[in-house]
Amino acid sequence: MIELINKQKIRADDRISVILVVGYILFALFLRLEAFISLIVYPFVSLIIYGIIKIINALNKRNKGKGDNTIKFMFGLVSIIFSIVFLMFILSFPNVTSQIILNLIAFPLLIVGLAAIVKGKMINIYLKKYRILNIIIGSTTIIVCLLTFFSPAVFPNNSFLIHFTSLCVVLFLNILGRATLYLSEFGLSLKHVRNFRLFLYIISDYLLHIDINGNIVLHKIE
């Protein structure tokens, strides 16, 4: 029987779950207002991501001809628009400062950076060079996020644009790093941009494995 889910992946995900719980407790202790706002903001950010995945699935050629594709596309589009409008409304309140917005972005990115290090260290089915790359990206992400949290003390002047740009850059690097890491399991890379589509399958609702003929097989999680 083919092992669709590697045990090292499960152990790494367990570690990341612990990091997430402990991290959010510390987040709530030291940044109470941000933690409260995050209870509203993060679910709607998740809804945006969910909407994007719905649209990708609706446009997927594998699902071509299915009657519910239009419904999936419209639901995804409405979810994205509604969530963006609601978030703009919430974040426009006078007591929501630029530093609070930065902290709300930095916290999940900090967890992403820690997750990159955990996956790079614990999961050896990925190519070593991409594991090292993710550890470097994860470490850089942690430094950038910590600098953002301590911005009022380290950078007295208003440096919102600098920190926001830095967070966007490390987010982009983490996406690329995670894509190269996951694809390396199947001997693929981002040299061919179309392989990025497989990365989207991996992070959505599909499991991938290589059959006895060397072909990549997708299994949809129902």
**pLDDT at residue 134 in the model:** 97
Q: What is the pLDDT of residues 138-153, one digit of tens each?
A: 999 999 999 999 988 7
Q: 65: left (phi > 0), else alpha (psi -120 to 50), else beta? A: left
- In the chain, % of residues over pLDDT 70: 86
Check whether 173 has a pLDDT greater than 50: yes
Closest CA to 209 of 198, 219, 197: 219
The runs of H, that is alpha helices, within the chain are 7-30, 32-59, 69-90, 98-122, 128-149, 151-154, 160-184, 196-203
Contact 218, 208 (CB under 8 A): yes
| Mean pLDDT over the full length of the chain | 87
Distance CA 116, CA 132 (A): 10
How confident is the model over 85-131, as pLDDT tens digits?
999 999 999 899 999 999 999 999 999 999 999 999 999 999 999 99
Q: Per-residue pLDDT for 2 more than 80?
A: no
